[in-house]
Chains A and B, each alone.
Chain A
Amino acid sequence: MAIGEPAVSVRGLSKHFRVRRGVPVESVMGSSHWLTQLVIRTRSPEQRFTALDGVSFDIAPGEFFGLLGPNGAGKTTLLKCLATLLRPDGGTAVVNGHDVCASPDLVRLSVTMIGSGQWVAFDWGLSVRENLQFFADLYGLPPKSAHGRIEEALEVVGLSGLIDATPQTLSSGERQRLVLAKGFLLRTPVFFMDEPAANLDPRGTADILHYIRHDLARLEGVTVIYTSHRLEEVEELCDRVAILDRGRLVALDTPRRLVRLVTDVEHLEVDFTGTAAGVLERVAALPGVRGLDLASGPVAGSAGTLRIQCESAERSSGDVVTALGGLGLSVTAVRASAPRLGDVFLRLTGRGLHHGV
């Protein structure tokens, strides 16, 4: 890669999948069975699902780049295309100076992929050390340095005391740490991290994110593409953030500049308890409310925190409390809030990152 060249350069990247979604079918064999599919094919054409639609961006060497978007936005698809695990259908992508389609082998030499479900790839019958040794050998780490790297990686993720345990005896959080340790064995120029802190406790998350941001990115100059559902992580860690929605890039800038897009409205956070139907629709219909998102709570309408964009926080707070009380919900706290990246997504797409209207 030449000096001045971006570490990652993406131009018009597209990816489509052939699916048959939304076709209700009753079949004794199951809807995904080929016999059922044969019947479905006679009733409806194959649909093309667009996972990525003409995405373009550049990432400078050493940049900590965030990808934000709801489930199904295309974050993982994008990472897999850049990691050469998925072949794009259109556009180009160059990673560390090599085209992902023309020279995938060369791309693989210079990237590390850390995902949240990769623990299944570990061998349950080998110890933590043996599993990491396996990958160290595959990565071409010289044997003399592999031993030290393994210990160093386990120290970083807090698994030093479990070096001789087998993955089948580890908890889900410990297995995710093992995935991270595997990723930290080699200092490639580019790291793709797909929700690396999933299943980790808050303390573990803080330590590992500090290591990624401070040691890997700042000190060693590694380029990181990072995806997460936790807004606070992305806001704090990333130099720039790209927001994806339904395969399209809707915004790309620093977190600070992105939130300026929503400084023309005020933001309210309302904590409530109880369960009722139609909460979002009722609050969205209030005068002065521009948009809202259910920031926490498992399903729309259950206890959680509403995040509301409105013309005046002071005027809307009373209306919201009254509306929620009318639905039988109990409001426990109301506060004004600074704009956040989730608000930017809401403004740009008209939908909340979680459950919004």
Chain B
Amino acid sequence: MTGGLARSSLGWRYHWRCIWTFARRELRLWTYFRVNFTLDLLVVFTNFIIYMIIASFRPAAPTAVYGAGYASFLTVGLAVNTLMATAVAGPYTGLMDCWQNNRLETLMMSPISLPLFITGISVGQYARALMRLCIYLAGGALLFGAFADVAGPTLARGASALLVLGLALSACTGLGLAAASMVYLVDARGGSDPVRLVVDTLSGIAAGVYFPVQVLPGWLQWLACLVPQTYALDALRRLLLSPPAVALGAPTLPVHALAPGLPPALLDVLILAAYALLALRGGLALLKRGLDSARRDGRLSTWR
């Protein structure tokens, strides 16, 4: 008699194969409609052009603290934010897609774990985000002179930037898991949820994606300190754009004044690390609760 799958057979190879399976599927579906695939690329590019044209109106001058021009500032903001926004939106979007297409029950019958499942359904979003990232970086550098006024980063600063990015994406993923849990916890099945409303609004308006935080009134700057994107953008710009003397220098966020002895970039990293730890655990717990509630009420699929 044959048995089911043994737990021991589901090692790291299985996990990588599953992620690759999801990625392959997403890529195939994404490119299935050629017109839309082309438009997807063009829309990203043209929206980027619009932002950069507006940015070009600003008189050429170094952006406060970070040192580099506004084109570099904005390019880094758009590029990094696209990854962070994907981390926040990916789980919700993936879960909603599964629910709407009645795929969720079938996927939940497979032996994949919840983290692997979330990674799998989000992987397509990350592929698109990486595409946007390349467009922003290449477009910014080639068309608008971004990074021309920036000294090349050192290996140490590059590695630090990757660490910061990793922490930022972890924190944003935790928020994304919480957002996904809203599908079932508060019946947010209309395409938007309260977690992303708050996070996207604050990060878009106040985290410094499109303009320095100093442009905002004081109370809005403090609100910005609630989202991890603010710290990630501040730290990454210091590491990637600023000359070394400036990188660890002047404070930019209100929260920096609370620990004047610490370099602002280091404080950003510490806050991000704490945020990542709490958000990941809390988000996963909320999502588990949401899925349990769905199983209890028979809401895993659109049809009971």
Contact = CB atoms under 8 A, between A and B. Distances in A.
Interface string A178-195: 000000001111000000
A126 B1 contact: no
A138 B21 contact: yes
A311 interface: no
B105 interface: yes
Specify which of A84, A121, A187 lies most central, judged by the most chain B CB atoms within 10 Å of its CB: A121
Given A121-B101, A123-B25, A137-B21, A113 B295 contact: no
Nearest to A83: B109
Interface stretch (B4-12, B52-60, B142-150): B4-12
A86 interface: yes
A80 B7 CA distance: 22
Contacts of A137: 17-18, 20-21
Interface string A82-95: 01111101000000
Given A121-B103, A140-B14, A186 B5 contact: yes
B111 A87 contact: no
B1 A189 contact: yes
Nearest to B187: A34
Q: How large is the interface on A (under 10, 10 to 19, 20 to 34, 35 or more residues)?
A: 35 or more
Contact of B107 (A110, A120, A138): A138
Contacts of B296: 86-87, 89
Interface string B279-300: 0000000000000100111101
Q: How large is the interface on B (under 10, 10 to 19, 20 to 34, 35 or more residues)?
A: 35 or more
Contacts of B105: 85, 113, 118, 121
A85 B111 contact: no
Contacts of B292: 87
B201 interface: no
Nearest to B30: A125
Specify which of A86, A106, A113 lies most central, judged by the most chain B CB atoms within 10 Å of its CB: A86
Contacts, number: 108
B303 interface: yes
A140 B2 contact: no
B295 A189 contact: no
B112 interface: yes
B10 A140 contact: yes
B21 A96 contact: no
B101 A139 contact: no
Interface string A113-124: 100011011010
B2 A220 contact: yes
A125 B28 contact: yes
Given A108-B109, A139-B110, A189-B2, A126 B25 contact: yes
B18 A138 contact: yes
A109 interface: yes
Given A113-B109, A125-B29, A138-B18, A17 B297 contact: yes
Given A125-B29, A137-B17, A110 B298 contact: no
Contact of B5 (A61, A84, A85, A139): A139
Nearest to B33: A125
B46 interface: no
Contacts of B38: none
A111 interface: yes
Given A62-B1, A120-B101, A135-B110, 16 more contacts: A80-B298, A84-B108, A85-B109, A85-B300, A87-B292, A87-B296, A96-B4, A109-B7, A110-B5, A123-B25, A125-B29, A138-B21, A188-B5, A189-B4, A222-B1, A222-B2
Interface of A: 17-18, 61-62, 77, 80, 83-87, 89, 96, 105-106, 108-113, 117-118, 120-121, 123, 125-126, 130, 133-135, 137-140, 143, 186-189, 220-222
14 contacts: A77-B298, A84-B108, A85-B295, A106-B7, A108-B109, A111-B109, A117-B102, A117-B303, A118-B105, A121-B106, A121-B107, A134-B25, A143-B17, A189-B2
A-B CB proximity, top 8 nearest: A110-B4, A137-B21, A187-B2, A125-B32, A121-B106, A138-B110, A221-B1, A121-B103
